[in-house]
């Protein structure tokens, strides 16, 4: 598997595989976000998920994949800091706003910063059609933010804070996307990076979640929470793993933007599963974000 992936890097076959991986990451990331915003406290859910994928990754990191080269340890340290800050911001945003409010702004703001970062870090350049796609995507994002500020009266008190946190979280999405792309390209075996990343990344939030759970006057049962954590851990492997591999096989900016078709999946999940009111206007604006992503992908 590793040899095959390395053999298609930068080829047309690699581009096609990266396309499939980015779309899979889009759907799974929407599912992942819904898990964190579901019936449990988002801090507890994130702790259960992180603890699960840490334990699941450990045997692969320690006994299956080759050990990281010495220069990878500072890279892993940087990834841990960036992802920890991202998760803290995301959990805070979900406590202030509805899933269908926070998620599109987070996932839509990230690509613009990612494209800029990919230009400076990897020398990737977009053509005019692709920048038009970015503009369409951003129009959907800011249109959605404006709609939310105008019509979501029930969340008026926390809406500005939620949107602010969502934009900052989007910045960290771009930061971890470009940094992870750098990290997965810095090691000879991409699965070494993935296994060690998940094991290291899963340390912090279980500790925070345990402290929060102990302080709750009516703490939820551990069993259902851990079931959600194990399911979320598997989803995290597939979602984050897919986008990381896509950024190794092909352009970072294109993979990051195509992943933002997840906003459409998020709208459907929010409506069908979380029973949140979405409405045709918000669906149209979320779809505009996805259309922009498609233009970027096929305009290259």
Q: How far apart are CA 189 and CA 126, in angstroms?
A: 28
155 band by pLDDT with thresholds 50, 70 and 90: low
> For the chain, what is the domain count?
1
Please tell me the predicted confidence (pLDDT) of residue 182: 92
Between 197 and 257, the more confident residue is 197
Q: How far apart are CA 139 and CA 294, in angstroms?
A: 14
Closest CA relative to residue 170, chosen from 247, 97, 110, 231: 110
SS3 111: helix
Please tell me the predicted confidence (pLDDT) of residue 190: 94
Give the domain range for residue 164: 2-298
Closest CA relative to residue 101, chosen from 164, 37, 145, 61: 145
* Residue that the structure tokens 């599963």 belong to: 273
* Per-residue pLDDT tens digits for 90-134: 888 877 877 667 777 777 777 777 888 888 888 888 888 988 988
Listed in sequence order, the residues at least 6 apart from 287 whose beta carbon sits closer than 8 Å to its beta carbon are: 140, 263, 264, 267
Please tell me the predicted confidence (pLDDT) of residue 38: 60
- Using a 10 angstrom Cβ sphere, with 0-12 exposed, 13-18 middle and 19 or more buried, the burial of residue 275 is exposed
Please tell me the predicted confidence (pLDDT) of residue 295: 86
SS3 113: helix
What does the mean pLDDT of the chain come to?
Answer: 85
User: Number of C-alpha atoms within 13 angstroms, CB side, residue 282?
Assistant: 27
pTM of the model: 0.84
81 band by pLDDT with thresholds 50, 70 and 90: very high
User: For the residues 271-285, what does the mean pLDDT come to?
Assistant: 74
158 band by pLDDT with thresholds 50, 70 and 90: confident
* Per-residue pLDDT tens digits for 199-258: 999 989 999 999 999 999 888 888 988 998 999 899 999 998 999 999 999 888 888 878
Given a cut of 80, whether residue 150 has pLDDT beyond it is no
Given a cut of 70, whether residue 153 has pLDDT beyond it is no
300 band by pLDDT with thresholds 50, 70 and 90: low
Using the CB atoms, write b or e for 153-169: b if 16+ within 10 Å. eebeebbeebbebbbbb
């Amino acid at each position: 598997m590793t040899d095959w992936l390395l053999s298609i890097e930068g080829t047309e076959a690699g581009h096609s595989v990266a396309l499939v991986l980015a779309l899979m990451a889009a759907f799974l990331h929407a599912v992942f976000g819904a898990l964190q915003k579901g019936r449990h406290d988002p801090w507890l859910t994130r702790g259960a998920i992180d603890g699960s994928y840490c334990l699941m990754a450990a045997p692969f990191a320690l006994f299956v994949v080759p050990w990281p080269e010495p220069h990878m340890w500072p890279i892993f340290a940087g990834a841990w800091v960036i992802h920890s800050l991202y998760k803290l911001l995301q959990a805070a945003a979900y406590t202030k706003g509805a899933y269908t409010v926070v998620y599109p702004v987070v996932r839509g703001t990230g690509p613009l910063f990612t494209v800029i970062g990919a230009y400076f870090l990897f020398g990737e350049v977009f053509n005019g059609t692709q920048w038009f796609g970015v503009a369409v995507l951003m129009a959907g994002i800011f249109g959605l933010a404006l709609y939310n500020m105008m019509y979501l009266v029930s969340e008026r008190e926390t809406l500005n804070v939620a949107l602010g946190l969502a934009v900052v979280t989007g910045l960290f999405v771009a930061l971890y996307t470009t940094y992870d792309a750098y990290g997965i390209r810095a090691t000879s075996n991409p699965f070494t990076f993935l296994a060690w990343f998940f094991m290291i990344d899963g340390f912090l939030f279980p500790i925070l979640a345990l402290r929060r759970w102990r302080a709750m006057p009516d703490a939820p049962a551990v069993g259902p929470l851990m079931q959600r954590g194990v399911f979320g851990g598997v989803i995290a492997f597939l979602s984050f793993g897919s986008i990381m591999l896509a950024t190794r096989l092909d352009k970072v900016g294109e993979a990051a933007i195509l992943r933002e078709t997840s906003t459409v999946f998020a709208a459907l999940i929010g409506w069908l599963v979380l029973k949140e009111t979405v409405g045709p206007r918000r669906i149209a604006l979320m779809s505009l974000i996805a259309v922009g992503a498609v233009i970027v992908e096929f305009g290259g």
